Chain A
Amino acid sequence: MRKFSVAVVGVVLAAVVAACGGSDDQQTGDKATASGKLSGSISVWIMDPGSPKIQDVVKQYGTDFEAAHPGTKVDIQFVPWAQAHDKFVTAMAGGKVPDVAEMGTTWTPEFADQGGLVEQPKISKGDYVSSLVDAATLNGKVYGKPWYAGARALIYRKDMLEKAGVEPPTTWDETMAAAKAIKSKVGGGVYPVSFTGLSEHMYLPTIWQAGGQIATQDGETWKSALNSPEAAKALDYYASFYKDGLDPKAAVGWEEPDAQTAFANGDVAMLIAGGWTYNSIIATKPELEKKMGTALTPAGPSGQNTAFAGGSHLVQFQESKNKDLGAAFIDFMLEPAQLNKFTSEIGFLPGTTDGIKASGYLDDPQRKPFAEQLLEHSAVYPPSPKWGGLEGANIFDGEIQKVMKGQATGQEAVAELAKKMDEEFAG
């Protein structure tokens, strides 16, 4: 009996080893032929959009591309956002990278700095959303093509604001006044806002709105600019809603989706969120479409109403064995007609200017604020190779949570954050 089980283990082991080794040479011989005709196969990693419908749009790209270029094969895999950073790291460490991948804009400089990404030639800023080209730029070279982009604006419940007798706020002061009115007049356990502790895209932009900066660049090195009165003021403002009971008690430990759930359930009156969230709320609660209004992000004391321009790039990896086919597939996905199939579903704006024109976003009054926010009032985080790591470790969350809980002042928090950032930029 024991002999038998040892033999079984041996066989299983052999099978495992064989299975692991089997994928090694998947791409050998998949080279574009010298004549320029495309052939071979590529693997593509796309961040999982979560909905089968949007997945189908992406899969259709593969099918359509294969049909247009007989003899090619596009293998699309969906990678959950939460695991994507780790997966890229392990893929690069193990030399098993995809040929083409979607990459969060803040990660592109990080992986480019490791020499993992292919420089994208012929990028002219006028063709793409310019802040996203900035986000893909490292030492003057562009490593990713903007695919889609979005910026968070204000989504509010018309009925609740009406009941509270307030207009959609356009400044910080108006936001605070509206929040207090909602708290006292709406009732039913409704909280005016959901400013959460784990959503840097909600609180970091308040620093810009206050007139501060996150980091400044000097040659190739970056230095934190957080230790400033403006940044301190921004964090104090953000946290004041929580301290005054205008924000759900649990929000200190919430991530963005938790805030969105609370809004969709009618427990929150105002939400800082993007067009993609707007779409997904309508998808889950169609009855809310009529009750929701949208507006630009409220402006801070500096008069700025800047939001973070997020999105993703399409990148190619250095170790890809079929770069021609990868480049052709990226260009195919970025054709305005193709692009809009995806962006209209997901609620983001196309990353190309032609795509935005074709999207019709600017003609839809409900969605126009999202487009306007992105095109005119948005900025990106410092495109430093270290930013991805800072973001991955959520160094900001801990300090903002302390301010929300009253364990630190805004000034103490920004001083501590500046120290941590500089350590990271230097290291």
Chain B
Amino acid sequence: MRDQPRPPGIPERGHAVSSAPAAVSAGRSKSASRPPAAVARRAVARLTMPVLLLLPAMVIIVGLVGYPLVRTVYLSFTDTGLGELIYGGSTWVGLDNYKEVFADEHLRASLVNTVVFGTVCVIGTMVFGFCVALLLNQRLRGNWFFAIAVLLPWAVPALAASAIFKWLFDSRYGFVNWVLVELGFSGFEDYAWFAGRFSAYVAIFITVVWQSFPFIALSLLAGLQTIPKETLHAAAVDGAGPWNRFRLVTLPLLRPIVAVLVVFSTIWDFKIFDQIYVMAAGVPDRAADTAAVAAYREGFALSHYGLGSSVAVVLFVILLIFSLLYVRLIGREGTA
């Protein structure tokens, strides 16, 4: 971006920032001829505008991300309940809540569910997204139409999609069971998808993948279209079949974008809430709850805001670890 010639007369916002070090060093070299106060004033004047411009964004980020984060971490070390939340006066309990998170069978299970089910969803979304992207990348008639149609699931609110899929998987009135029975799988007559953890996860997995593949597919499609045709032709001339072309040429070239998409998907699928909240509510003993739902229920339903916060913090830490891991992996590949 920066190398591109800028049209004259249009000052860019980056200008003030990028030229600041130059101004400072220039000022330093002439420091003998100028009083330091003037230099300082100039520097302040140069910084005022950027700071002012950044301020609204800063206020929003600090207000909407920073404060809740700090407050959640603080609450997680207290015994805050409904009364303490309204009138204050909570007590510091140290790590008690965290001990409870790992001691409580349901909360511990919800963390395991989050990691296992989240990972499966990431893999499912990436694989399906890749398949769709490769299909859309073919020069087929009407592919532009499909490229737009693919976006539709993404535009459906998660809550609405969950409610729709819950009905699709309904035991007696659901479309899925009807189709399966018509196809000859009579075991699915009145099959109760949400009466067991595994079958419920199958239904929720399909919902999550259906909802999140469009973004992955379109991002990968964009990536696929940047791959020079010559490279693929050259590989073909050298005798590489379609699978080897994909494995040895396409995939390595797409690696950076795949890595970013995996990070995004991980964050989305680990903090999955709506689908679980709607679809897994009836799973016996709430065995299919994920950490986000468990934190919500612990906090808002049982009014154990301290314990709920600590579940949220543990989820945050898990996400942080996964994200850092991926970032490191990307970095290593970049240097390799």
Contact = CB atoms under 8 A, between A and B. Distances in A.
Given A89-B300, A253-B194, A115 B87 contact: yes
A189 interface: yes
B13 A10 contact: no
A122 interface: no
A248 B190 contact: yes
Contact of B284 (A85, A86, A253): A253
Nearest to A258: B282
A253 B282 contact: yes
Contact of A402 (B12, B82, B284, B300): B284
Interface in A133-182: none
A357 B22 CA distance: 89
Given A89-B82, A89-B300, A253-B195, A9 B285 contact: no
Given A253-B283, A253-B284, A254-B282, A393 B192 contact: no
A110 B172 CA distance: 39
B57 interface: yes
Contacts of B56: 6, 9-10, 13
B302 A398 contact: no
Contacts of A293: none
Contact of B285 (A115, A189, A398): A398
Given A2-B13, A9-B57, A13-B60, A252 B86 contact: no
Given A197-B282, A198-B282, A250 B172 contact: yes
Contacts of B172: 189, 248, 250, 262, 267
A265 B83 CA distance: 45
Interface in A84-99: 85-86, 89, 92-93
A28 interface: no
Contacts of A394: 286, 301
B162 to A, nearest CB: 14
B38 interface: no
Contact of B171 (A2, A115, A249): A249
B245 interface: no
A389 B284 contact: no
B86 A253 contact: no
Contacts of A198: 281-282
B86 A116 contact: yes
A393 B302 contact: yes
Contact of A252 (B83, B173, B191, B195): B195
Contacts of A253: 192, 194-195, 281-284
B286 A398 contact: yes
B198 to A, nearest CB: 13
B57 A249 contact: no
A197 B86 contact: no
Interface string B140-176: 0000000000000000000000000000001111000
B303 interface: yes
Given A13-B59, A197-B284, A252-B282, A114 B195 contact: no
Nearest to B302: A393
A241 to B, nearest CB: 15
Given A10-B56, A189-B190, A249-B171, A401 B13 contact: no
Contact of B297 (A89, A113, A393, A405): A393
Interface string A67-100: 0000000000000000001100100110000000
Interface of A: 2-3, 6, 9-10, 13, 85-86, 89, 92-93, 110, 113-116, 189, 197-198, 248-250, 252-255, 262, 265, 267, 389, 392-394, 397-399, 401-402, 404-405, 407, 424, 427
Shortest 7 CB-CB distances between A and B: which pairs? Answer: A253-B282, A250-B171, A401-B284, A250-B192, A392-B301, A398-B285, A393-B302
Interface of B: 12-13, 53, 56-57, 59-60, 81-83, 85-87, 170-173, 190-195, 281-286, 297-298, 300-303
16 contacts: A3-B53, A6-B53, A85-B301, A114-B82, A248-B171, A248-B190, A249-B190, A250-B190, A250-B194, A253-B194, A253-B282, A254-B282, A389-B302, A393-B302, A394-B286, A405-B284
Given A250-B172, A252-B192, A393-B301, 8 more contacts: A2-B12, A85-B301, A197-B284, A198-B281, A250-B193, A253-B282, A255-B281, A389-B301
